[in-house]
Structure 1
Amino acid sequence: MFVIFGASGKVGHATAVALRNAGQPVRAVVRRARQGEALAKIGCEMATADLTDPASVASAIKGAAAVQMLCPVPVGDIDPASTMERMIDVAAHALRADPPPAVLALSDYGAELDEGTGLTRLFHLLEARLKPLATHLTLLRSAEHMQNWAAMLPVMLATGRLPSLHQPLDRAFATVATQDVGALAAELLLEAPSTKTPRIVSVEGPRRVSLIDVARAFSPAVGRDIVAEAVPRTAWAPMLQRAGLSPNHVQLITELYDAVNVGQIDVEKGVSEQRFGKTELPDACASMLAAHVKSR
């Protein structure tokens, strides 16, 4: 049984679908039962769990041949770092108490760094907690998800602008489609363990892009010219707070983009295997717009 945490999310859903298409049994773990309707229709066994609740996590991993673990950054939390640290501790404890033969943890570029990276530091903590597990461990570090820009579609449609914390606008960075991350995760879960030491795999898209490239890719999708706009650093916090983020969350994002913009967040050279997704940015932009229109 393959146990997939965060199965209602974009990456987890893609992993679950890929495993079911390969004829594998999947237990899809969601926080609320209604989130699992589509997964139940493709034959997944459903389980509900709260990553801050040890009993529900322990129940979800019972009998697993492999576990895909995701500890998401909690949106809308007053202190997201503390909550995510709690999730990590609960997950690590459950996996130590009842270790499956294999664990794949969804992590981030830059997770090898232990300070000065904001949100990414939490993925460093996740990796550190899981590395002592008595099981075959794969750490799948992904670049920034293309689908994150879907949140900016209302602004692009209304104003023709794409505001961003990425600076300078012409600096190329790694990005990847969530479906490619999920598909690779399924592939890695199906592989026989090849080493007793943690396996580190990094994944990004077929080519690196700048914010100017992102704006150009969205332009034909939305039917108007989109212009990339660098948000002045002094305006980051007010903008993020207007979006409803707590001061603690704002600080984590600020630290992250300070690190991103000086090139600190990237593939760990000489340590991780490098994989590349197939989804091109314009295709991802078109899919994001279609999903946005459908949801309205």
Structure 2
Amino acid sequence: MNAYIFPGQGAQFTGMGLNLYENSPLAQQLFEQANDILGFQITDIMFEGSAEDLKETKVTQPAIFLHSVILAKTLGQNFKPEMVAGHSLGEFSALVANGALNFEDGLKLVFKRALAMQKACELQPSTMAAVLGLEDAIVEKICAETPGIVVAANYNCPGQLVISGDVDAVNKACEALKTEGAKRALVLPVGGAFHSPLMEPAREELAAAIENTLFSKPICPIYQNVTAKAVIDKAAIKLNLISQLTAPVRWTQSVQQMIADGATLFTEVGPGNVLQGLVKKINREAETASASL
């Protein structure tokens, strides 16, 4: 079975999407439509902006979404997903790819999400840290024992977990994790504590927008971050999408479930190849590929 996977924040690069714009009339039309929807020339930043320009949350999230979704749409008849999944932000790309959301609504929700997350980040100093070389249960236990807010946020692959919370708690947890034998416990250069309770203000804001957006019956299941299980019901998709901002990204579990349900090829659609690397670490036998125009 063909599984299509969509990357999240961090996959951006200078010049992203330019090849699509120059080589596909459909891509050009969709990029121009995106400029109109957003009210600024995101294509200028994607094609010519610096790494610093692309790091701004209100740019990063729609830029990655656009690269992924427009690439999927240019594949035409070759794009036949039997299951989809996206890492964090990538879940919105996956929902456009499987027909649950249309292009315009997907982009509007992603932009709303980016602005809401930015606002939540400004309310309290918070951060995330990558933890390497420990079992999930040990990381979860140390987070639970650490004073303050710190939780497991991204289950990326076995032995690679990201924690998220207030700055002091994350720093204390990192020290405890190193003592416990972590190969690394490294604070990441991010703007805030994504996928933690500190994103509650953003979750509430995004919930209202999701509730007011029309979702359609998808053409294939999506394996959502919150449940790591196949979902096809529109109401369930909405609920999981709302929960996503404060809940962990269960990527390891999602990929394992997709393989158990028959996935034989994982094709990454969008910038970079980070997800292919994670899939290989989750299951060495899994076949991976990059989508290209």
So what's the TM-score if we normalise by structure 2?
0.29
So what's the TM-score if we normalise by structure 1?
0.29
Q: Determine which structure has greater relative contact order: mean sequence separation of CA pairs < 8 Å that are 6+ residues apart, divided by chain length.
A: 2
